[in-house]
Amino acid sequence: MLVLNVVAMLLGIGIWELVTAVGVVGLPTPVAVFDQAVASIESGLLISDAAASLARVLAGFVLGVAVAIPVGFLMGWYPTARGLIEPYVQFFRTIPPLAIIPLAIVTMGIGEVPKIFVIFLAAFLTSVVATFQGVISVDRTLINAARVLGAGDATIFRRVVIPASTPFIMVGVRIGLGSSWATVVAAELIAAQSGLGFRMQQGQLYYDLPTIFVSLITIGILGLVMDRIVIAADRRLTAWQEKA
């Protein structure tokens, strides 16, 4: 699989070089982007911008998932909680987190809080729905069999519901991760003094396409690495499912 990934990357770079060779207007060459990446690393800008964006994503994403999972379990396990919470979840799901950025900036200022808040919201909404769907999708036969064997609600929840819901939860986590990166870039485009989104905006102002490409590629690499970490955690948590 790793070999195929490397081949795919090399093929993509080759196509990119070919497109620029035939004279596509404005598109920087891979060499120009590489040179800009080296210059940005040497100046420290790329490292500081990547660290700023990564810190915001991790803070909002971890908070969102940490809140979403218990809320999703609560909604799925208790009909009363579902009736009280689900309307709000569905209401905010129809509002893109990006649309809340101006309101968050006005009410929370232009510091780190509004950026982390909108990332939290993006991660929370996807993860809570996935967790809720996982709980209500648990095979009722498994629950009834556990009750017949004398298991109480706590045991059923711990030994049946949580393992059976884990694949759904991890799907929500992966989607929430992508939403978090999309949201942080948009937030940094609107109000930030550092970060990859901010650097892309600066590149746009000066028509510096290599800088924009460097930021885009860095976002893609960081997102890919984080996604692979989530996949590894998913495989470990659902090892029982693979063995079956």
Residue 26, C-beta contacts closer than 8 angstroms, at least 6 positions apart: 209
196-205 helix and 162-190 helix, angle to the nearest 10 degrees: 30
**59 lies in some domain:** yes
Per the structure, the complete domain to which residue 215 belongs is given by 28-243
Q: Has residue 242 got a pLDDT over 60? A: no
Assigned domain for 22 exists: no
Quick check: is 61 in a domain?
A: yes
Per-residue pLDDT reduced to its tens digit, 149-168:
777 777 888 888 888 888 89
Q: What is the pTM of this model?
A: 0.86
Tell whether 221 is covered by a domain: yes
Average pLDDT over residues 126-138: 89
pLDDT recorded at residue 38: 93
Q: How confident is the model at residue 244 (pLDDT cuts 50, 70, 90)?
A: very low
Number of domains in the chain: 1
Rg (CA), the chain: 22
Which among 244, 41, 29, 221 has a CA at the least distance from the CA of 142?
244
